[in-house]
Amino acid sequence: MIPAKRPPLLNFAVALVVSVLALVLTLTTPLRTGSPFVLFIVAVMISTRFGGWGPGVFATLFATAASIYVSIPPNGALGLASLDDALRLAPFMLIALFVIVLISRDLAARTKAEEDALRLAAAVSSSEDAIVLKTLEGTIQTWNPGAVRLFGYSADEAIGKSIQIIYPPDRLDEFENTLARLKRGESADHFDTIRVAKNGKRIDVSVSEMLMRDAQGKVIGVSKVVRDITERKRAEAAARFLAEVSDVLASSLDYKTTLASVARLAVPHIADWCAVHVKAEDGTIQQLALSHVDPAKVELAQELQRRYLDDPNAPFGVPNVIQTGKPELFAHITAEPSVAATDDLAALRLLINLGLKSLMVVPLIAPGRTFGAITFVSTESGRYYDQADLALAQDLAHRAALAVDNARLYDRAQSLNEELDRRVAERTAELETANQQLRLLAGHLQSAREDERINVAREIHDEIGTLMTAIKMDLAFLGREIGGNGAAKSPDALREQISATTKLVDEAIQALHEIVRELRPGVLDHLGLRAALEWQMQEFQERAKIECQFTSDLDELELDPQRATAVFRILQEVLTNVARHAQATRVDASLRKEDGYLILQVRDNGKGISEEQVHNVGRFGLLGMRERAHVFDGDVVIHGSPGEGTVVTVRIPV
């Protein structure tokens, strides 16, 4: 017996009572004369055992004093008469002290052992792990609270039963193998396996079994520690699943293929069937994929999805999740309103009757928008979703949304690249066409320049040359007349001859002016662009016999000579084309400024130019007009309608 924590006064009172009792018995029995200290030794032992070394010493001192008082002469005195009397008491005191020391040490050892046992028991009781003591054959001897929480059996239900009650039927061979190892003296350290709870739930656990031996090394039982590793296994499985998902998501840049792959991967890992919905550009919600653990039930799953989970008016389901961007979790689908958490109880009851156990709907969220949702449903497996499952589903949806967003960005980038390639190809073709046109135009200009030179030379030769020859002949004739080498003529005849020669000179000068005016009209340099255009229209009307009208609201126009020349030459080319091809009877031209551009518009009422003729690279007149405008970052737009004439609009920035 280990002395409990008692009041010290009680311990000493007990020592006093025991010591007095020992004294009375000693005085009233034959022990007084034979062995007077025997009962006192017993009193010391009892006092020490009950109260510790302090009461033991008290009992020893009381016994010594009592012995001196009643047994050692002179009786009734507390003093020692001789050394022999002291020697008679010495053995008793030594034995008493020895007994006190032995019992105190034993008490200290027992106290420590019991405290250790109590600490161990407290640790076992407070442990989250299931700690079970069993016999070597597997009979349960102790069953801590951790085991109660993990397996559902109370201590009364488990103690005395075989440990096989927590083994799944398909793993009873583990029991036999472990028993054989333990009987061989081997322990089983930390192996992962599955055990079953009272309600039939299978639990992932880590198990350690250690042999217990007594002081002599004999096996007295087995200590079994079972740790619930369900969360660890779930985390490991989730990590493997998400890694697989990431690989699949990275394998395709087609978002439809990506989302269909998500539905296939989710079954049966986290759902018995899974559906993916996306929101189309027109706002409608479309089912993109549905996968079921039983292919024969895909049609039924689609019907359930369509009737209840896709209802836009329901306070739950895919439309609600897409609208709010918040996930929904129905951990236990039941007819109880407190669990259903919805007013649509009839729909939920029908879902229960159709076998649904648990349901999650999570949104697909890209930056700034919710574009879809994924539905996870538990049926045949009987799995009930919790917050950890919801977190896994949201993680999956987040990865899928990022993959879809990346796929869409890739598609957009591809479209932009294709558009860029198309524009580059078009621009390249345009440049090649422009280069070809420029080469043709350069050749045409070279030919036109040579033709113009020939025309100028012909006009000089035919008109001025002829006139000069006639003038030379007249002057030669006059020279002979004046020199007296020819027949004499009257002064009137000479004056008439000189007048005719003067007329020839005037005609030569006029012809020369006409040639110069064709090369560069002086009115453009002296009177400006507006006057030059108006003059050109009048000249064209007189020459082509086509009615012309020119209008302009520009009284003063400050324009550099280069731009003025370009606009004037373009009008000349337009009028030339009208005369050659339009079969028009009227031409209207206007000149104005608008938004920083000088705009010349020429309209005729002829047969109209066709689009094919507008884009014909062989029409050098049109090409020349465009190039004159392009020099100044301007443009020439030509539009014609059959039977309604042609409109040429020239825009040059000023």
Question: Which distant-in-sequence residues (6+ apart) come within 8 Å of 591 by Cβ?
Answer: 529, 530, 533, 550, 551, 552, 554, 567, 598, 599, 600
Whether 451 maps to a domain, the answer reads no
Whether 486 maps to a domain, the answer reads no
Using pLDDT thresholds of 50, 70 and 90, give the confidence band for residue 165: very high
What pLDDT sits at residue 182?
A: 84
Q: Which residues pair with 227 in a beta bridge?
A: 206
- At residue 143, the 3 state secondary structure works out as strand
Question: Which distant-in-sequence residues (6+ apart) come within 8 Å of 153 by Cβ?
Answer: 143, 147, 165, 166, 198
Kindly state the tokens that stand for 62.
């009381």
Whether 405 maps to a domain, the answer reads yes
What pLDDT sits at residue 333?
A: 74
Q: 211-220, 374-383, 468-477, 639-648: which has the minimum mean pLDDT?
A: 468-477
Task: Check whether residue 403 and residue 300 sit in a common domain.
Answer: yes
Question: Which distant-in-sequence residues (6+ apart) come within 8 Å of 196 by Cβ?
Answer: 166, 167, 168, 202, 203
Mean pLDDT along residues 537-566: 86
How far is Cα 265 from Cα 270, in angstroms, rounded to an integer? 9
Tell me the per-residue pLDDT of 188-244, one tens digit each, with 9 for 90 and over: 777 889 999 998 888 999 998 888 888 788 888 888 899 898 888 888 888 888 888
Tell me the pLDDT of the chain averaged across its residues: 79
pLDDT at 340 over 50: no
pLDDT at 477 over 90: no
What pLDDT sits at residue 257?
A: 81
Kindly state the tokens that stand for 364.
């697909």
Task: Check whether residue 532 and residue 565 sit in a common domain.
Answer: yes
The candidate with the shortest Cα–Cα distance to 322, out of 392, 397, 406, 410, is 397
How far is Cα 76 from Cα 439, in angstroms, rounded to an integer? 155
DSSP letter assigned to residue 383: -
Whether 421 maps to a domain, the answer reads no
DSSP letter assigned to residue 202: E
Task: Check whether residue 30 and residue 96 sit in a common domain.
Answer: yes
Decide which of 391, 413, 435 is a domain's last residue: 413
pLDDT at 338 over 50: no
Kindly state the tokens that stand for 110.
């027992």
Decide which of 207, 228, 249 is a domain's last residue: 228
pLDDT: which is higher, 81 or 45: 45
Kindly state the tokens that stand for 341.
């958490």
What pLDDT sits at residue 407?
A: 78
645 contacts 606 by C-beta, under 8 angstroms = yes
Decide which of 90, 123, 156 is a domain's last residue: 123
Task: Check whether residue 384 and residue 263 sit in a common domain.
Answer: yes
Tell me the per-residue pLDDT of 110-154, one tens digit each, with 9 for 90 and over: 777 777 666 766 666 677 888 888 998 889 998 988 899 999 999
Length of the chain equals 654
Task: Check whether residue 265 and residue 337 sit in a common domain.
Answer: yes
**pTM value > 0.85:** no
In one letter, which amino acid is 269? H
Task: Check whether residue 103 and residue 149 sit in a common domain.
Answer: no
3-state percent breakdown (helix, strand, coil) of the chain, nearest 5 = 60, 20, 25
Whether 543 maps to a domain, the answer reads yes
60 contacts 93 by C-beta, under 8 angstroms = yes
Task: Check whether residue 162 and residue 259 sit in a common domain.
Answer: no
Task: Check whether residue 297 and residue 382 sit in a common domain.
Answer: yes
The CATH code of the domain that includes 352 is 3.30.450.40
Q: Give me the number of domains the chain comprises.
A: 4
How far is Cα 584 from Cα 604, in angstroms, rounded to an integer? 6
How many angstroms from the chain centroid is the CA of residue 449? 68
Whether 2 maps to a domain, the answer reads no
Element (H, E) at 105: helix 83-126
Mean pLDDT along residues 497-511: 73
What are the DSSP E strand ranges found in 197-327? 202-213, 219-228, 273-279, 285-292
How far is Cα 570 from Cα 576, in angstroms, rounded to an integer? 10
Mean pLDDT along residues 271-284: 85
pLDDT: which is higher, 320 or 110: 320
CB-side exposure of 543: number of CA atoms within 13 Å?
12
The CATH code of the domain that includes 169 is 3.30.450.20
Whether 424 maps to a domain, the answer reads no
- At residue 492, the 3 state secondary structure works out as helix
Tell me the per-residue pLDDT of 582-639, one tens digit each, with 9 for 90 and over: 889 999 999 998 888 999 999 999 998 888 787 765 565 677 788 888 888 899 999 8
What pLDDT sits at residue 342?
A: 43
Tell me the per-residue pLDDT of 7-55, one tens digit each, with 9 for 90 and over: 888 888 888 888 888 877 877 776 655 566 778 788 888 888 888 888 8
pLDDT: which is higher, 547 or 303: 547
Task: Check whether residue 406 and residue 526 sit in a common domain.
Answer: no
Q: 70-74, 123-127, 295-299, 506-510: which has the minimum mean pLDDT?
A: 70-74
pLDDT: which is higher, 183 or 299: 183
pLDDT: which is higher, 344 or 503: 503
Using pLDDT thresholds of 50, 70 and 90, give the confidence band for residue 266: confident
Q: 168-177, 256-265, 324-333: which has the minimum mean pLDDT?
A: 256-265
The fraction of the chain above a pLDDT of 70, given in percent, is 75
Tell me the per-residue pLDDT of 417-450, one tens digit each, with 9 for 90 and over: 888 888 888 888 877 776 766 666 555 555 556 5
Whether 613 maps to a domain, the answer reads yes
What pLDDT sits at residue 77?
A: 52
How many angstroms from the chain centroid is the CA of residue 163? 50
Q: 135-149, 421-435, 460-474, 530-544: which has the minimum mean pLDDT?
A: 460-474
What pLDDT sits at residue 359?
A: 86
Task: Check whether residue 89 and residue 149 sit in a common domain.
Answer: no
Name the residue range of residue 244's domain: 234-413
Task: Check whether residue 162 and residue 74 sit in a common domain.
Answer: no
pLDDT at 451 over 90: no
Task: Check whether residue 356 and residue 394 sit in a common domain.
Answer: yes
